Amino acid sequence: MSPSNNTAASKSVPDRTAGAPLDQAATDHVVEVRDLVKTFGKLRALDGVTFSAERGTVLGLLGPNGAGKSTLVRILTTLLRPDSGVARVAGLDVVADGQRLRSLIGLTGQSAAVDELLTGRENLELVGLWYHLPKREYRRRAQETLDLLALADAADRLVKTYSGGMRRRLDIGASLIANPPILFLDEPTTGLDPRSRNELWRLVRERVGAGAAVLLTTQYMEEAEQLADRIVVIDKGTVIADGTADQLKARTGGATLEARVTKPSDLERAVAVLGDLSPTPPRSDAEQRQVSIPAGEGTDLLLDTGRRFQEAGIPLDDLGIRRPTLDEVFLSLTGRSHGDAEPSSAEVAP
């Protein structure tokens, strides 16, 4: 994606001042997508996508490389036209009302969209200017944003001297500066160090606390779990799961009970103990000295198991119920792990 594709939403001239409150009635569903289709030649990048997102929440969009996440974000931010289907943001149709919509949204695209030949401060002030903020206001917000994103020391250097992470932070700052009520962040923390990532998470939570809606795509399961109220998983242009992190985890067959024996020689007896408690044969891992069975919900099983190990005189290093991670959920939904490489377009095309 070329940088210019990312700039249009945040840097086009809006027809009203950003930061104005949304029309309450129109925004129960701040994002509404129905049967959205987008093709590139033979490739169906979006193949009938339907979901919605509510006001004051974070929607996490997860999917492997090439799933269609950025395509979706670009349609929702008016950078790309869908072939068919409906997409509304804040009650406005992304095609028919694109011009009005652009003043309500902020976008951080997947690749940095800042101007290399300006300083960091100039980049931010320019966005404020485009959003028709008064000069004093955009100067203040630019400084505030530079401080927040730990760029104050580099504020007056040309961006071409910035590191990748610094550009990324500046890019994010540009989407925050006009305080838009709806934020689209396409893999906002890719390439950020842990401290900057935590800082960004804090910023996102703060915006959401103040009533903004955020739609973010991410490769990081941890990020989705930390930030998203709801997660939509897409794969090959279709939604394959939609729910809270807990709901998605429950779909993967739920929790497992795991016991780790202290002595490797106890492993076989541990398998026998757990075998009595489970309709399916226990799984064992000799290297980890670990045995596991499906756990369902309750804690009764845990207590019962602990008692039985004690009675059998088998010392344990660890005993607990483990819920699946979102990564495991993803693996079970798609048959691939989340980080797997994108298949080539030819393979994806029908």
Nearest approach, Cβ of 155 to ligand ATP (angstroms)?
Answer: 30
Based on CB atoms, which residue is closest to ligand ATP, 64 or 282? 64
Based on CB atoms, which residue is closest to Mg ion, 70 or 292? 70
The residue range among 31-39, 70-78, 232-240, 275-283 that interacts with Mg ion, by the rule CB under 5 A, is: 70-78
Find the DSSP H helices in the chain.
3-11, 69-76, 98-101, 120-130, 135-148, 164-176, 194-209, 221-227, 245-251, 267-275, 300-312, 326-334, 345-348
Q: How far apart are CA 7 and CA 18, in angstroms?
A: 16
Residue 71's binding partner among ligand ATP, Mg ion, none (Cβ under 5 to 8 angstroms by kind) is ligand ATP
Nearest approach, Cβ of 65 to ligand ATP (angstroms)?
Answer: 3
**For the chain, what is the largest distance between any 2 Cα atoms, rounded to a whole number of angstroms?**
76
Provide CB contacts within 8 A for 110, sequence distance 6+: 1, 6, 70, 186, 187, 190, 217
Q: How far apart are CA 197 and CA 226, in angstroms?
A: 11
Residue 107's binding partner among ligand ATP, Mg ion, none (Cβ under 5 to 8 angstroms by kind) is none
Nearest approach, Cβ of 129 to ligand ATP (angstroms)?
Answer: 30
Distance from the Cα of residue 3 to its chain's centroid: 21
Nearest approach, Cβ of 336 to Mg ion (angstroms)?
Answer: 16
The residues that touch ligand ATP, with contacts defined as CB under 6 A, are 40, 43, 45, 63, 65-71, 110, 342, 345, 348
Based on CB atoms, which residue is closest to ligand ATP, 218 or 292? 218
Residue 67's binding partner among Mg ion, ligand ATP, none (Cβ under 5 to 8 angstroms by kind) is ligand ATP
Nearest approach, Cβ of 63 to Mg ion (angstroms)?
Answer: 9
The residue range among 66-74, 161-169, 240-248, 310-318 that interacts with Mg ion, by the rule CB under 5 A, is: 66-74
Nearest approach, Cβ of 221 to ligand ATP (angstroms)?
Answer: 14
What does the per-residue mask of binding to Mg ion show for 99-128, with x meaning CB under 5 A?
-----------x------------------
Kindly state the tokens that stand for 251: 């779909």
Provide CB contacts within 8 A for 140, sequence distance 6+: none
Find the DSSP H helices in 32-132.
69-76, 98-101, 120-130
Based on CB atoms, which residue is closest to Mg ion, 309 or 330? 330
The residue type at 173: G
The residue type at 208: V
Based on CB atoms, which residue is closest to Mg ion, 61 or 273? 61
Write down the residue that tokens 């104050």 correspond to.
152
Nearest approach, Cβ of 330 to ligand ATP (angstroms)?
Answer: 13
Based on CB atoms, which residue is closest to Mg ion, 69 or 207? 69
Q: How far apart are CA 176 and CA 336, in angstroms?
A: 34
Nearest approach, Cβ of 66 to ligand ATP (angstroms)?
Answer: 4
Please work out the total of residues on this chain that contact Mg ion, with binding judged by CB under 5 A. Answer: 3
Task: For residue 345, give the nearest of 9, 22, 128, 44 by alpha carbon.
Answer: 44
Nearest approach, Cβ of 110 to ligand ATP (angstroms)?
Answer: 6
Based on CB atoms, which residue is closest to ligand ATP, 68 or 324? 68
Residue 66's binding partner among ligand ATP, Mg ion, none (Cβ under 5 to 8 angstroms by kind) is ligand ATP
Q: How far apart are CA 150 and CA 347, in angstroms?
A: 43
What are the DSSP calls for 181-227, one per residue?
SEEEEESTTTT--HHHHHHHHHHHHHHHHTT-EEEEE-S-HHHHHHH
Kindly state the tokens that stand for 122: 């100039």
Based on CB atoms, which residue is closest to Mg ion, 70 or 175? 70
Selected from 6, 27, 70, 108, the binder of Mg ion by CB under 5 A is 70
Residue 120's binding partner among ligand ATP, Mg ion, none (Cβ under 5 to 8 angstroms by kind) is none
- Contacts with Mg ion by CB under 5 A lie at 69-70, 110
